[in-house]
C-alpha cells in the first residue's frame, strides 16, 4: 500500500535520501529562512509537505474541525453527540473575561516557530513571495502548483480565524517577528474584509492548481477544491451571523454565493467530479471503496494510513470510535434520540405522529438511515466475517436494581450506534489504525450550498431541485418531490436545506457550523430572528437524550441465540422481513427504559444546553491583547483591563 499521508511520505523520503536531513529542524527557527530554501524541487517539496503537516497533523476524525487544532469540541455542541457539555454549552458558566476567550489565535510573538495560525500564514506567504526568485532549479509548472497550494492553505487558515473571531489582522507579506516594531502592527479587519482576502486567495489557487492531480499526488489541494471552498466561504459570508441583510432576497452576498456555487458545479462537472454512485450502498461505501484513488465526490480529501508507526503515517481514529465493545472497538458513539427521530421516512417525508412510532425507530426509514446507524441485528461486518452483527440491550438483576448487564458488554446510552463511514472489511485487531480517508468536502455539500442560495434568494423551486439531486442519488422515491412536498416560501426552503444538510452531512463535522452561521442556539434580534422565521425551536434549553432497550424479565439474558438469529441488511431481499422479526422481538421481550442518569450533566447534575450570544464570535485572549495593545477586544468580551470590548466585526 502506498503511504497515505503525502506530507509524511515526503518527510520519509527526505530522511532516506540523506539530503539535508536537518532541513525540517531549520523550519523551527524564523532566522533560517532565505531564498536557498527553494533551490531545488526536492527541497521545496519538503517545505510544502511540512506545511501540510502543520495544517493537518491532528486531522484524524471526520467530526474534527478548525485548521491546525482539529478537535471535535464543536461537534459536541449539537444534537449529534450527547454526554459532553463543552465550556461553550455549559449553563453554569458565563465566559466573558479575556482569559476565558478561545485560545486558537495563539501567541504570535515568540522567539521560535510555534505551529499556530499566523505561523502557518507566514510559511504560506513566504513561499508565495519568494519562490519566483529561486532561480532555474524549479520548473514553471512546479512553481505554479506550489504557489497555488500556498494560496489555498492561507485561505483555509484565514477562514477558520474569521469563523472563530469574526475579524483578525490580515497579513499578506512576510514580516520579522517582533512585539515592538510599530510598522508591522495591523488592526483587526472586519469579517467582510477577511472574506474578500479569502476569496481572492481561493481565486488565485483555482487559477494555479490542476483540477485533478496525477495518482502520485492524489490528496493534494486542487483547483476543484478551491472553487468549492469559495462556495462554502461565500455562503458563510451571506448567512445571518455575518450578514445583517440576509433576509433581503436581493442581497448581493447571496448572489455572489450562488454564482460561486454554480461556477464550481459547471467546472467540476466538466472535470469529472459529481455525486459518487447511484444508490445508498454506493453512498455508504464512497470513503473506502476506491481507497487512495480519485473519487468524484471528494473535493477535499485527506489520506490516512493503516500503519501503527506515526513516523510513517497517521491513522483515522473514527473506526475505533464507532465500533462497540463486542467488536473489540472503543465502545461506539451512541446515537441520540434526537438524531434517530430526525431522519426522513422511506418516502422522504419527515417523521410525524401519523407515520412514525419512535419505539420502532428502525422501521420504514429512508436509505441513509440504515447506513448512518447500526442497531440490534444490523449487518455490520468486519474482516473475515461479512455477516457479523450485534445487539444493544440490557437486563437488570431485579426491578429495583440501579443498573443492568449489557449484552456483549455494549454499555451504551442508546439502542443504536453511529456507523457512518465505517468500513465493513476493517480488521478488529487494528481498528485504531484505520486508513479510511476523510472527505472533508463532498460534492453533495456543493449542491446543498447552491440549494440554500436559491432558497435565500426566494427561489424555492430551484432549491428543491438541488435537494432532489442529493435525494435521488440514494434512492428516495420521486413522488411528492422526493418527499419534500411543495416549498411555498423562502423560509420553508431555507429550513429544508438546513434539514437536508443534517441528514446528508451527519457526523461529518458540519452541523455546528450551520448552527453557528444561522445563529440557531437562540432567537436573537441580532440574527434577524432567524430561528423564528425558519420555524425552528432554539437549541438553547434542549438536551441530548437516550434510552435503553431493557428486558421485561430479570436476572438473565432474555434472548436465546435463536431469537437473535436476525440479520438486517438493507441490500438483502429479506430486509423487510428481518425488520418485522426485530419488531416482534422488541414487543415480546423489551421495554423502553430511561437512562440511569441524564446524559448531559455538569458536576453530576443534569443540565440543558446554553450557548450565550457572545460565544458566536470569541474575544481575543488576555495574552494576545497584552502583547498587542493596539488590538481591540470583541464586543461582548472584556478587554485586558476589564473594559467592555469595542470591536464590531460587522462594521
CA distance 513 to 235: 11
**Which residue's C-alpha cell is 536537518?**
22
3 state SS of 581: helix
Number of structural domains in the chain: 1
Give kind and range of the element (H or E) at residue 551. Answer: strand 547-551
pTM reported for the whole predicted model: 0.95
Residue 18: which residues within 8 A CB-CB, separation 6 or more?
A: none
Whole-number pLDDT of residue 311: 77
Tell me whether residue 464 is in a domain. Answer: no
Q: How far is CA 40 from the centre of its chain?
A: 36
Cell triple for residue 306?
A: 493503516
What is the model's pLDDT at position 2? 36
Query: How far, in Å, are 30, 277, 303, 372, 495 from residue 284 at the CA level?
Result: 45, 10, 18, 8, 25
Residue 555 placed within a domain: yes
DSSP state, 405?
Answer: E
Q: Are 627 and 111 in contact (CB under 8 A)?
A: no
Give the integer Cα–Cα distance in Å for 502 and 339.
Answer: 9
Instruction: Tell which residue, 590, 572, 61, 576, has the closest CA to residue 304.
Output: 61
Alpha-carbon distance 606 to 616, whole Å?
24
Instruction: Provide the β-strand partners of residue 302.
Output: 438
Q: Is 585 within the bounds of a domain?
A: yes
Residue 363 resides in a domain: yes
Closest to 468 (Cα-Cα) out of 230, 275, 639, 282: 275
The DSSP annotation for 433-460 comes to GB-PPEEEEEHHHHHHHHHHHHHHTT-H
568 in any annotated domain: yes
Write out the three cell numbers for 262: 454554480
**Residue 384, domain member (yes or no):** yes
Q: Is 66 domain-assigned? A: no
Cell of 120: 502557518
Can you read off the three cell numbers belonging to residue 233? 466561504
Residues of the chain with pLDDT under 50: 1-21
**H or E element, residue 302:** strand 298-302
Contact 609, 543 (CB under 8 A): yes
Instruction: Identify the domain containing residue 366 by its residue range.
Output: 318-436+547-594
H or E element in which residue 60 lies = none
Other CB atoms within 10 Å distance of the CB of residue 428? 16
**Which pLDDT value is given to residue 112?**
72
- pLDDT of 180: 67
* Residue 606 within a domain: no
Beta bridge pairs of residue 547: 594
Amino acid at each position: 500500500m502506498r503511504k497515505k499521508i503525502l506530507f509524511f511520505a515526503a518527510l520519509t523520503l527526505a530522511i532516506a535520501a540523506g539530503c539535508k536531513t536537518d532541513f525540517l529542524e531549520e523550519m523551527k527557527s524564523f532566522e533560517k529562512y532565505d531564498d536557498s530554501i527553494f533551490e531545488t524541487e526536492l527541497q521545496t517539496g519538503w517545505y510544502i509537505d511540512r506545511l501540510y503537516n502543520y495544517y493537518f497533523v491532528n486531522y484524524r476524525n471526520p467530526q474534527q474541525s478548525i485548521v491546525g487544532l482539529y478537535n471535535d469540541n464543536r461537534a459536541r455542541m449539537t444534537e449529534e453527540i450527547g454526554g459532553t457539555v463543552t465550556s461553550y454549552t455549559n449553563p453554569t458558566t458565563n465566559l466573558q473575561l479575556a482569559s476565558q476567550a478561545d485560545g486558537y489565535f495563539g501567541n504570535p510573538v515568540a522567539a521560535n516557530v510555534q505551529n499556530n495560525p499566523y505561523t502557518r500564514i507566514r510559511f504560506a506567504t513566504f513561499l508565495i513571495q519568494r519562490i519566483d526568485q529561486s532561480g532555474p532549479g524549479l520548473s514553471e509548472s512546479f512553481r505554479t502548483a506550489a504557489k497555488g497550494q500556498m494560496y489555498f492553505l492561507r485561505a483555509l487558515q484565514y477562514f477558520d480565524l474569521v469563523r472563530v473571531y469574526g475579524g483578525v489582522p490580515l497579513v499578506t507579506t512576510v514580516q520579522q517577528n517582533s512585539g515592538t516594531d510599530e510598522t508591522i502592527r495591523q488592526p483587526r479587519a472586519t469579517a467582510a474584509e477577511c472574506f474578500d482576502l479569502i476569496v481572492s486567495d481561493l481565486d488565485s489557487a483555482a487559477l494555479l492548481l490542476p483540477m485533478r492531480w496525477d495518482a502520485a499526488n492524489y490528496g493534494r489541494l486542487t483547483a476543484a477544491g478551491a472553487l468549492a471552498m469559495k462556495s462554502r466561504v461565500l455562503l458563510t459570508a451571506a448567512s445571518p451571523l455575518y450578514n445583517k441583510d440576509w433576509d433581503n432576497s436581493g442581497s448581493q452576498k447571496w448572489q455572489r454565493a450562488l454564482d460561486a456555487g454554480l461556477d464550481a458545479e459547471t467546472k467540476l462537472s466538466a472535470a469529472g467530479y459529481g455525486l459518487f454512485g447511484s444508490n445508498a450502498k454506493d453512498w455508504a461505501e464512497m470513503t473506502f471503496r476506491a481507497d487512495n484513488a480519485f473519487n468524484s465526490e471528494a473535493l477535499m480529501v485527506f489520506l490516512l494510513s493503516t500503519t501503527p508507526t506515526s513516523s510513517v503515517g497517521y491513522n483515522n481514529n473514527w473506526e475505533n470510535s464507532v465500533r462497540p465493545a463486542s467488536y473489540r472497538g472503543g465502545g461506539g458513539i451512541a446515537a441520540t434520540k434526537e438524531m434517530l427521530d430526525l431522519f426522513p421516512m422511506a418516502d422522504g417525508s419527515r417523521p410525524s405522529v401519523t407515520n412514525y412510532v419512535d419505539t420502532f425507530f428502525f422501521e420504514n426509514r429512508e436509505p441513509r438511515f440504515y447506513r448512518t446507524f447500526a442497531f440490534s441485528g444490523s449487518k455490520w461486518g468486519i474482516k473475515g466475517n461479512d455477516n457479523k452483527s450485534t445487539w444493544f440491550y440490557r437486563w437488570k438483576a431485579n426491578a429495583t436494581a440501579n443498573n443492568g448487564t449489557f449484552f456483549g458488554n455494549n454499555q451504551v446510552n442508546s439502542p443504536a450506534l453511529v456507523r457512518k463511514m465505517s468500513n465493513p472489511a476493517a480488521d478488529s485487531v487494528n481498528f485504531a489504525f484505520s486508513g479510511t480517508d476523510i472527505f472533508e468536502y463532498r460534492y453533495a455539500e456543493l449542491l446543498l450550498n447552491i440549494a440554500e442560495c436559491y432558497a435565500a434568494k426566494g427561489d424555492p423551486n430551484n432549491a428543491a431541485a438541488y435537494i432532489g439531486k442529493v435525494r435521488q442519488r440514494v434512492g428516495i422515491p420521486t413522488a411528492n418531490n422526493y418527499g419534500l412536498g411543495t416549498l411555498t416560501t423562502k423560509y420553508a426552503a431555507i429550513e429544508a436545506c438546513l434539514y437536508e444538510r443534517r441528514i446528508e452531512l451527519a457526523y461529518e463535522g458540519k452541523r455546528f457550523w450551520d448552527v453557528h452561521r444561522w445563529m440557531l442556539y437562540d432567537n436573537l434580534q441580532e440574527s434577524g430572528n432567524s430561528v423564528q422565521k425558519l420555524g425552528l425551536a432554539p437549541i438553547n434549553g434542549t438536551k441530548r437524550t437516550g434510552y435503553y432497550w431493557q428486558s421485561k424479565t430479570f436476572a438473565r439474558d432474555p434472548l436465546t441465540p435463536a431469537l437473535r438469529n436476525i440479520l438486517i441488511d438493507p441490500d438483502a431481499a429479506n430486509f423487510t422481513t428481518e425488520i418485522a422479526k426485530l419488531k416482534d422481538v422488541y414487543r415480546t421481550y423489551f421495554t423502553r427504559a430511561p437512562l440511569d442518569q441524564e446524559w448531559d450533566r455538569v458536576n453530576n447534575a443534569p443540565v440543558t444546553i446554553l450557548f450565550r450570544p457572545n460565544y458566536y464570535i470569541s474575544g481575543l485572549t488576555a495574552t494576545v491583547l497584552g502583547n498587542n495593545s493596539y488590538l481591540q477586544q470583541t464586543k461582548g468580551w472584556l478587554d485586558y483591563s476589564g473594559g467592555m470590548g469595542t470591536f464590531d466585526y460587522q462594521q
